[in-house]
Amino acid sequence: MPEPEPIRPNDNKPLGRFSKNTALIAGMLLLFVMATSLIRNNDPASAVTYTEFRAELSRGNVHKVTVSNREIDGEFRAPFSKADQEITRFQLILPGEMTDGLIEDLEAEDVIIDAKTSQPSWGQLLLSALPWLLFIAFWIWIFRTMQGGGNRAFQFGRSKAKLISPDTPKVTFADVAGADEAKQELEEIIEFLKDPSKFSRLGGRLPTGVLLVGPPGTGKTLLARAVAGEAGRPFFQMSGSDFVEMFVGVGASRVRDLFEQGKEHAPCIIFVDEIDAVGRHRGAGLGGGHDEREQTLNALLVEMDGFETNEGVILLAATNRPDVLDPALLRPGRFDRQIVVDAPDVKGREGILRIHAKKLPLSDDVELALIARGTPGMSGADLENICNEAALHAARQDAEKVSMKDFEQAKDKVMFGTERRSLVLTENERQLTAYHEAGHVVLGVKIPGLDPVYKVSIIPRGRALGITASLPEEDRHSYTKEWMEGQLAMLFGGRVAEEIIFGPKDVTTGAGNDIERATAMARKMVMTFGMSDAVGLVSVGDSEQEVFLGRELGQRRVISEHTARLVDEEVKRLLDTAHERAHEVLKEHGDLLESVAQALLERETLGREEIEALERGEALPPQPVPASEEISASPPDPLKQPEKEAPPPLGLPGADGPLPGPATSIYEEPDHNSEG
């Protein structure tokens, strides 16, 4: 196989450097001429006054004069002393026009008289011509720009793709973990680029396009960078938003220019990040869609698989919204492969942590495998953030190495937010929050099949006044009906505990998010997962599709009024059953509810071991409070009630969206929907 031709990332650099040097030299010459002119015209040693000139003329000491308008240059017969200097040549400006009387006086003293026309100095000439020179240079630049862009003014139609040069720091597959299947698929592409005959001899062809699909933060862009480092071929990088411009037709022109550059460097790889910015379904939206965006998409479709073949040009793209892409873009011949880059499993998370922990000085007590088991559902970006936060926490403590405690603090910070110890609750609010969280804990440990509760706290974090966190023993990819019904009961644990301890009239708004999430989960059970005998195995959730993100302008009602009423009744039945179940469990285990609440009021935070000890009826040993945590808090706003928030929940297979249930924590309000 012939050696790949050298990559020239920017052929215009020498020309640009030459132009800058030329401009610098010209500017220095201009300054030199102007300074010389000013010095010559303002030399105090050669300037004499008109009075001194007349005095020397009357003494007969003037030998020769040269007259130019009102300026006189001359020579003395004998040196003239002025300011401790001997002046032989002199200059002066006449106070008026040259008169006949002055000429007669000069002739009487036998002075040689000469005359010349006045000429401006070089400095004056350059200063007067400078605006015109700048104007001419500007228009020369405009014409060169228009010619360089293929007769496209200002190069608007040129592609903004960046060519990765060989001297760029490389990212290889060794720097990527948690995506083994994706790496295997991409390794075939790289091998195809290096040795096409290995596959073509059996009749195979080079894939046209590869689409990386997955939630945000899972490493799609990192995989593309690794492909650039492994391939050893020209690699063009561009974002989908770079095709969009304020002028009509610019996007399509940039697509054509991008593939022209690819053909010149074939075989090569073109990477387009966030391709959904330009590849959305045609005809969607008001008025039939966005004409400019559709023109760009049409140009992309033609370049990928049109009349002209782009042999050796592979298009690598990434998106987290494959559902909105145009079907013509996804067919074989354009994007031949779709590689799913999902959230990593426990083994992948451990590998990601090891990669990011290479640059950290770790103490001997750090167990990355244990951290990996405690971070289900997290992406690679989340794990990188945990490593970074752990390093920052260790630096704030002036530690020499990053310890396991630093990682635990970083994990809690990423999952639940920063502790707000400066926010002090009133005693009444502390009791409300303690019993609320204790209710969740009791339901979590007494209902079989639920994920173990590993931490509960009444220390405000983020926007929450308290948290109860559960972690699965292993990665969970599907959920049973029993688990979801138990989850509904656990969500109502806080509200039911308030009802039992303080009475129905003194319940707070702290359960608002719990009720919202329980309702969403129950609706998913009935409408999507077929877990209602009354409704049956019927999906009735099409009407929940987002407008303007899909293909429809409006929402269609695909269920009857009777079915809608039946769905509402089933959702209400599931919620009432969960509430009653929570009430029965808390009534039965009231002593555990009381002990957990009192322990929270005393310690503020309980771990898994302490919760298990309370469940067995054991007394907790006294625990000294670290000095760093002995911070008093100020009273909160009296109108503010306990609220809950949580990281993005884990989605279920077959669901249109994420299940409003826990991933790593149970009682936190999700701030956005997870993708994928």
Q: Are 206 and 267 in contact (CB under 8 A)?
A: yes
pLDDT of residue 574: 95
pLDDT of residue 37: 55
DSSP secondary structure, 385-448, as one string: HHHHHHHHHHHHTT-SSB-HHHHHHHHHHHHH--B-TTBPPPHHHHHHHHHHHHHHHHHHHHST
Q: Sign of the C-alpha dihedral, residues 260, 262, 267, 271?
A: negative
For residue 543, give both structure tokens: 């009407």
pTM (two decimals)? 0.65
Residue 460 has pLDDT above 70, yes or no: yes
Average pLDDT of the residues in 552-581:
83
Identify the DSSP state of 219.
S
pLDDT of residue 35: 56
**Cis omega (within 30 of 0) for bond into 267:** yes
Q: How far apart are the first and last CA of the chain?
A: 41
Q: Sign of the C-alpha dihedral, residues 601, 603, 608, 610?
A: negative
pLDDT tens digits for 312-367?
A: 788 889 998 888 888 888 888 888 888 888 888 888 899 999 999 988 999 988 98
Average pLDDT of the residues in 542-550:
46
pLDDT tens digits for 247-290?
A: 677 778 888 888 888 888 877 888 888 888 888 887 655 444 55
The span from the CA of 565 to the CA of 265, in Å, is: 62
The span from the CA of 505 to the CA of 81, in Å, is: 111
* Helices vs. strands in the chain: H and E counts, helices first: 21, 13
Q: Are 171 and 226 in contact (CB under 8 A)?
A: yes
Residue 456 has pLDDT above 80, yes or no: yes
Burial class (CB in 10 A: 0-12, 13-18, 19+), 539: middle
Percent of all residues in the chain with a pLDDT value above 90, rounded to a whole number: 17
Higher pLDDT, 56 or 520: 520
pLDDT of residue 412: 84
Query: Element (H or E) spanning 531, and its range?
Result: none
Average pLDDT of the residues in 119-142:
73
Residue among 606, 411, 436 nearest 511 (CA): 436
Query: Element (H or E) spanning 236, and its range?
Result: strand 235-239
Q: Decide: helix, strand or coil at residue 92.
A: strand
Burial class (CB in 10 A: 0-12, 13-18, 19+), 570: buried
For residue 498, give both structure tokens: 């308030």
pLDDT tens digits for 394-452?
A: 999 998 999 999 998 898 888 877 777 777 778 888 889 899 999 999 999 999 988 88
Residue among 158, 162, 147, 156 nearest 246 (CA): 156
CB atoms within 10 A of CB 466: 28
pLDDT of residue 496: 93
pLDDT of residue 9: 42
Q: Decide: helix, strand or coil at residue 85.
A: strand
> In angstroms, how far is CA 485 from the centroid of its own chain?
39
Least confident of 508-512, 529-533, 558-562: 558-562
pLDDT of residue 30: 61
Least confident of 209-213, 222-226, 317-321, 543-547: 543-547
Average pLDDT of the residues in 505-513:
86
Q: Are 500 and 675 in contact (CB under 8 A)?
A: no
Residue 292 has pLDDT above 90, yes or no: no
Average pLDDT of the residues in 71-94:
83
Q: Decide: helix, strand or coil at residue 316.
A: strand
pLDDT of residue 26: 62
pLDDT of residue 218: 87
Please, which pLDDT band fits residue 145 given cuts at 50, 70 and 90?
Answer: low
pLDDT of residue 119: 65
Q: Are 638 and 432 in contact (CB under 8 A)?
A: no
pLDDT of residue 572: 94
Please, which pLDDT band fits residue 385 given cuts at 50, 70 and 90?
Answer: very high
pLDDT tens digits for 646-667?
A: 333 333 333 334 443 333 333 4
The span from the CA of 171 to the CA of 558, in Å, is: 49
The span from the CA of 386 to the CA of 416, in Å, is: 12
The span from the CA of 375 to the CA of 349, in Å, is: 8
pLDDT of residue 32: 58
- Average pLDDT taken over every residue of the chain: 76
Active site positions, annotated:
437
Interior angle at CA 214, CA 209 and CA 218, nearest 5: 115
pLDDT tens digits for 464-493?
A: 788 888 888 777 778 899 999 999 999 999
Residue 198 has pLDDT above 60, yes or no: yes
pLDDT tens digits for 565-575?
A: 999 999 999 99
